[in-house]
Amino acid sequence: MRTNHRIAAVLFLALPLFSCQPPREQRAEFFVFGTLVEIVLRGVDENSASAAFADVQRHLQAMHNELHAWKPGALTQLNQAFAEGRSMNLDNDIPTLIEMSRTMEDATDGMFNAATGGLVRAWGFHTSEYPVKTPPPSKDEIRRILSTKPSTMSIHQEGNVLTSTDPTVQLDFGGIAKGFATDRIISVLVHEHGISEALVNAGGDLFALGGSDEHPWLVGINGPEGVIGGLEIQTGAVFTSGSSERYLEQEDSRYPHIIDPRTGEPVTGLMSVTVIDDRRFRSKGWFADAAATALMVAGPESWRELAEKLELESVLVVNSYGEVLMTAGMEKRLLPAP
């Protein structure tokens, strides 16, 4: 394994966040999915925290290898099989992610579409190096990829055997994998380590668990130009999708890494979307993550309508003029930036 595939872990004790009787916190950081993932635990001793962090690291490494869209692994093999019209037997998380992606493709009228990996690659976004400087794909290339309307609905599963009836289906879980990973980590912490208070923060995309009225988790909402405001979360997900860091640059134009599956072109109109999903036991990182990506596609005209359809009360967007707009639910809870 090459060193850049490895996840670096740093363990250290937290400084108190609250002045009144702070809960004792244990922290660790891991570099994975191109992001720093920070885990904060409350109410556990150092030894239990170390054991939990070691387990988390193992799971993160496995998900990183399994779900990577362009480094050779399970997903690239599956995409190769689809392209060649072959079936593939898989016993890992990919079938679950396909199921979740399908749910979100359906719920967003195709604005979230994990089968458009061919377009993501054609636009040069299968890279860790930003900004991308390669030329945009030709109109013909985009038309060719879109001609079959690639969709996760073309994937069929029998037991662990996956087949796509459309060879242009190329899976890319970039819009949902971080959410899936936060859910997995929370589940490992709860079910394998008996932890009931934790924060998993993947570069501003996060899942908080077990905060209380007295000690909620305090998190910041990031906009294109820094922190927009703060939030108190007890249990739930906060995910932001945006175009400020990952884009293709050509002369004076910037093309963000989120593609409108209907046109094959990168989205325009919104710079970022933040979604809170803290409906308690119903809240899921994968849902919030995919919803934020879909709302970027919905754009300035339709984001409110899609948020309503997805039953998301708290959504904040920054439009291309830098204006911050939000739902009434978000307005009620947004705290001033620290």
Residue number closest to Mg ion, CB atom: 293
| Least spacing, CB of residue 136 vs ligand AMP, in Å | 15
| Least spacing, CB of residue 239 vs Mg ion, in Å | 6
| Least spacing, CB of residue 119 vs ligand AMP, in Å | 8
Contact positions toward ligand AMP, by CB under 6 A?
Answer: 112-114, 116, 120, 125, 172, 174-175, 241, 257-259, 261, 289, 292-293, 297
120 binds, among Mg ion, ligand AMP, none (CB under 5 to 8 A by kind): ligand AMP
108 binds, among ligand AMP, Mg ion, none (CB under 5 to 8 A by kind): none
Q: Give the neighbor-by-neighbor strand order of the sheet with 25-32.
A: 9-13, 25-32, 35-42, 198-202, 205-209, 236-242, 270-277, 314-319, 324-326
Q: On the CB side of 162, how many CA atoms lie within 13 Å of its CA? A: 31
H helices of the chain, in order, are 46-67, 74-83, 94-107, 117-122, 139-146, 177-187, 193, 285-309, 328-333
CB 180 within 8 A of CB 93: yes
Find the binding residues for Mg ion in span 164-183 (CB under 5 A). 175
| Least spacing, CB of residue 288 vs Mg ion, in Å | 8
The site map against Mg ion for 126-165 (x = CB under 5 A) is ----------------------------------------
* Site for Mg ion contains 293 (CB under 5 A): yes
Residue number closest to ligand AMP, CB atom: 174
CB 194 within 8 A of CB 186: no
**Which of 219, 229, 221, 212 minimizes the C-alpha distance to 21?**
212
Rounded Cα–Cα distance for residues 246 and 201 (Å): 19
Binding site for Mg ion (CB under 5 A): 175, 241, 289, 292-293
